[in-house]
Structure 1
Amino acid sequence: MGVRSRFVVGLSFALGVSLLLLLSPASIKDSAASTFASSSAGWSAYGASYRGVQGVESGPLLRGNSSDGLFDRLMPDVNYMTSGRAAGLTNQVIAAINLIYLSVVTGRVPILPPFHANNQLSKTPIPDLPVSLMFDLARMNREMVDLRGVLEWEDLQTDKGVPEPEVGCWGGMRKNNALEFAKIKVTWTDYPGLTFPPKARYMSWVQFIPYLTPSSPFYHRFVATKVHPSALAPNDQFACIDETMDGTDFADMGPYNEYAAGFGGWRWAGTFLRFREELVEQGRVRLRKAFGIAPGQDIPPFVTMHIRHGDFTAFCGKGDPCFTVAQFAFQLDLLKKELTESGRPVPLNVLVMSDESDPKFFEQVKARGWKMSQDGEGVQNPKLVEELGGWHDTLIDNVLLASGDHFIGTISSTMSLLGSLRTKDWNGGLSRMVGFKDPELPLH
């Protein structure tokens, strides 16, 4: 079954059930910091040019040039979707994946916001990062046959003096400053059926998609009955929403559980969002040094561990083991048993990635014969370092998390979640997560 067929079959189940509910008489009601864009030096800091990624069978995605206003740039036969951003890099990646997913479902072209560095990444301001400097958007567009094309906000940047357009957008819980990077004046309209405080933490895409679909009768009915005639309604051709991180197909699952189960945005978009080859190659350089392998030689099979401490230690009870090296060793032992029982090779090497800085932690890792990702530092590609600036090390870390034959991560960490999914989908590996009260395996 091809990508298109699997996509349609999967969505038919979720959306079919939802639309039956939406169409019933009882439910047709409405239940259904400094920014990069503010500085002309931001995008040019990366020395790259942007033209958007056009689908194989589609026409141009934009017209005009940077001297034209936003709505003058839009093609009359193309519908678009964009969103704001929030939280750290990994959550912004999930939001981008969900934006691409929603765009495909609703027949729109996604306009991806750049990644923003929060305090977890850097204590000093660094320029926002275009998504295409982390991911191979052209490859994704080739492999996702239902995706008409991809744009980034840089493709829509305008010259100084061009008036900021007024845009009607959908908003929920994160509409404050969500789109400040975009140089647009936003008028927010609450999601259909949204109550304050929200009844649920997560937005259900299944309920919202009928309003996001171009020329939808649900959209037109909502605007006609719920938006004041003098107010700026959400734009039909240029759909924008405040954020996509907290949306799921089914709101009661939540984004973490939905992704972990292989559903939603990851299943139909995220698995196609591969890292740039330049980043992958630099990851290989780091791995060879960490494992003591000469340049050009094959990297031995290994298990990647993501041991997150930092703010996650607050989740642990007093006196309980808290994501210890011994807990990860216990899960590694179970992983090896599973591989042995299934007749698959058992890797002898382990690469540990962690935000821990306590020297005792590193001693415990070394005592088990494992390698730290820091063991591979010191060999860099100067051109890549110059291009990525303060983002370089974080992007390489993301690549390393997805490079192992198998994966063991920290429960509830979205960084571990994506590392796990990428390892399973891209490398055919097994994955396990260390929980808050998992047993420990003593060092023999």
Structure 2
Amino acid sequence: MVNDRIRISDRYFRPRAGTGGSLPLSSTGPSGPKTKQRHGSRIQRFLQRLRTWFMLSTRGRRTLFASVIIFAVLLCILILEPQKGGPLNRLALHSYNIRRWAAVKKASVSSEAVNGPAKKRFRDNLRNDTNYITSWSNAGFTNQFMGYVNMIYLGTLTDRVPILPPFAPDHHISSSAGIIPFGDLFDLEHLRKQLRTPILEWRDVKALPTRYSASPYSTSEIESLGCWTTRKESEGNPIRAENVVNHLGLDVSYTRVPNHARLDPSNPEETHVVFPQLAALIYPLDPIADPESFRTLAPSPRGHWDTPESQLSCFDTLYYASSGAKAFEWQYSWSPVWRTVGRHVRFTREIEDLGYQYLSNVFGLDVAEEVPPFIIVHIRRGDFAMFCSHSGQIDCFPPLSTYKKHVDTVKTDLMTRRNIPVTNVVVVSDEKSPRFWANVKKQEWFYINHTEERTLERFGEWYPPLVDIVVQSYAIGFVGTEDSTFSLVGQRRVEDWNGGVTTNVNVQLGH
């Protein structure tokens, strides 16, 4: 397999968008002005010789032949000659239009995966010779992302084509934020090539309201569907993920996965399920059990008691899925899901450029300047107050000085391992206190001021955390917050995409 790790020099010193990957003409590299000048001199000498020969020619046949030769040479020059002018500047933030992104960014869909364009009913678009898998997810953006990537991985184990739902609001974001299709944020064409398998979105299969619809959770055609629930044995209800399911126009009933699919089958509080057991349960040929043999746990909102379907296998959530070695395997660099799928889920170029422009603004750079190497610090506050070690105190979170110690350690490691001196630090956090951000500024650290940038007003409720996520992926060093999935996935990207150095601060322990 080709190693697709992005070197740090590729991320920080990559050519500007629109240059086609070539060096600027002011470069002293191979395509710089010296090379071009020598190349131009050879062409000029050759043309001079042809012109002299042409002028001395008297026969019509030779004249015609010479004309053809000169025309061919000029055509080659137009094709091969380096383009004049500097690289295109990146767009300013005010010129971004997310509606245009969705209109322009349409990842190609493998023609063999569905019958045709999106149809009114999803079953009309499923091929008889193909099996599929889908799931919902809940909680914040990163948890939804992890659940969907887990679903794709299970699809690779079971020869099923994944159908990705959009990201939909849960308890971290208001319903008015609307949905965001997976492919509007992540490069599905790249992922298909890396996994060598078709990957669909629900909008490829079924005609659905767009992300800009006034009623994104109201679909005219409602279809019944039987799915699996992975909720622990002691929990009597599945995860309904109402915003996602309503957007898809589905009426879903749920059957609990068998007990042997648990990481610890003897524990009724066990939340984790095991990929190999799930694969055996839903593999199209000779599954380990017949879905009809299980009792339905919960009927659909419209009263259907459908058992899980065989052609389209679906789950309420796969966030708590494991290979069987450990719980919460995304915490480990060897995570099979991350190694197989997650590290290949790249942002679209539009989303990458948006994050890059925010960084340029943070550092106060001109359009011709590149973002320097930096360390990202993610400080999780908010609901993490429940983890504080000194309960009852007004401010029980680790102070900035604790994060600074980790930053200094990362700086030293980067210098020792990579010989990269780093002085710039960028902080992202859900903290709202002006006092906190004033202290960040005192450290001479940078931060993204979403209020000043008007991120919410310009792009919507999803984008303040989304921009922070993308910005993290450009870092060469990372200091995160232990037990935060926001930090966890950012850490994985910095390590695997950039070869960076990472560490975490433990809120419960205070260091």
**1:15 matched to which residue of 2?**
none
Change (3 A) 1:65 1:426: closer
Which residue, out of 124, 127, 131, partners 1:72?
A: 124
User: What pairs up with 1:196-275 in 2 under 5 angstroms?
Assistant: 198-218=268-288, 221-223=289-291, 225-226=293-294, 232-250=306-324, 253-255=326-328, 257-275=329-347
Structure 1 segments, 4+ long, off by >6 Å, are 43-46, 49-52, 158-162, 194-197
User: What pairs up with 1:14-29 in 2 under 5 angstroms?
Assistant: none
The residue type paired with residue 307 of structure 1 is I
Deviation at 1:152?
2.8
Deviation at 1:107?
0.9
Deviation at 1:254?
2.2
**2:66 matched to which residue of 1?**
none
Change (3 A) 1:139 1:393: same
**2:417 matched to which residue of 1?**
342
1:281-304: CA deviations, max 9, x gaps? 121111112112111311111000
Paired residues of 1:306 and 1:409 also in contact (CA < 8 A)? yes
Change (3 A) 1:236 1:45: farther
Is 1:413–2:484 an aligned residue pair?
yes
Is 1:185–2:251 an aligned residue pair?
yes
Deviation at 1:201?
1.5
**1:93 matched to which residue of 2?**
145
Change (3 A) 1:347 1:89: same
SS where residue 61 of structure 1 aligns?
A: coil
Deviation at 1:118?
3.2
Change (3 A) 1:337 1:185: same
SS where residue 278 of structure 1 aligns?
A: helix
1:30-82: CA deviations, max 9, x gaps? xxxxxxxxxxxxx9998648976435xxx422225555532221011211111
CA distance in 1, matches of 2:100, 2:370: 35
**1:365 matched to which residue of 2?**
440
The residue type paired with residue 393 of structure 1 is P
Is 1:425–2:496 an aligned residue pair?
yes
Is 1:391–2:391 an aligned residue pair?
no
1:382-417: CA deviations, max 9, x gaps? xx987x533333322211121111111000000001
CA distance in 1, matches of 2:282, 2:168: 26
CA distance in 1, matches of 2:427, 2:417: 25
Unmatched 5+ residue regions in structure 1? 5-42
Paired residues of 2:167 and 2:179 also in contact (CA < 8 A)? yes
CA distance in 2, matches of 1:54, 1:154: 8
SS where residue 342 of structure 1 aligns?
A: helix
Paired residues of 1:53 and 1:149 also in contact (CA < 8 A)? no
SS where residue 177 of structure 2 aligns?
A: coil
CA distance in 1, matches of 2:168, 2:315: 17
Paired residues of 2:230 and 2:318 also in contact (CA < 8 A)? no
Deviation at 1:375?
8.1
1:239-259: CA deviations, max 9, x gaps? 111111111112x7222x444
Change (3 A) 1:249 1:367: same
With 183-192 and 416-425 compared, the bigger mean Cα shift is at 183-192
TM-score normalized by structure 2? Answer: 0.68
Paired residues of 2:228 and 2:256 also in contact (CA < 8 A)? yes
User: What pairs up with 1:151-190 in 2 under 5 angstroms?
Assistant: 151-153=201-203, 155-157=205-207, 164-173=222-231, 175-178=238-241, 179-190=245-256
> Number of aligned pairs?
388
Change (3 A) 1:296 1:66: same
Is 1:306–2:378 an aligned residue pair?
yes
1:17-38: CA deviations, max 9, x gaps? xxxxxxxxxxxxxxxxxxxxxx
Deviation at 1:261?
3.2
SS where residue 54 of structure 1 aligns?
A: coil
Is 1:128–2:179 an aligned residue pair?
yes
Deviation at 1:216?
2.7
Deviation at 1:273?
0.8
1:168-203: CA deviations, max 9, x gaps? 211132624233432222232210227898341111
User: What pairs up with 1:137-156 in 2 under 5 angstroms?
Assistant: 137-145=188-196, 147-153=197-203, 155-156=205-206
**1:14 matched to which residue of 2?**
none
Change (3 A) 1:130 1:289: same
Calculate the aligned-residue CA RMSD, in Å: 3.3
Unmatched 5+ residue regions in structure 2? 5-97, 210-217, 232-236, 297-303
With 183-192 and 304-313 compared, the bigger mean Cα shift is at 183-192
Paired residues of 2:225 and 2:306 also in contact (CA < 8 A)? yes
Deviation at 1:338?
2.0
Structure number, greater radius of gyration: 2
SS where residue 62 of structure 1 aligns?
A: coil
The residue type paired with residue 127 of structure 1 is G
**1:36 matched to which residue of 2?**
none
Change (3 A) 1:49 1:182: farther
**1:102 matched to which residue of 2?**
154
CA distance in 2, matches of 1:287, 1:82: 35
Paired residues of 1:101 and 1:269 also in contact (CA < 8 A)? yes
SS where residue 390 of structure 1 aligns?
A: coil
Deviation at 1:274?
0.8
Deviation at 1:330?
1.0
How many percent identity over aligned positions?
27
The residue type paired with residue 151 of structure 1 is E
The structure, 1 or 2, with the larger RCO (C-alpha pairs under 8 Å, 6+ apart) is: 1
Paired residues of 1:79 and 1:214 also in contact (CA < 8 A)? yes
Deviation at 1:83?
0.7
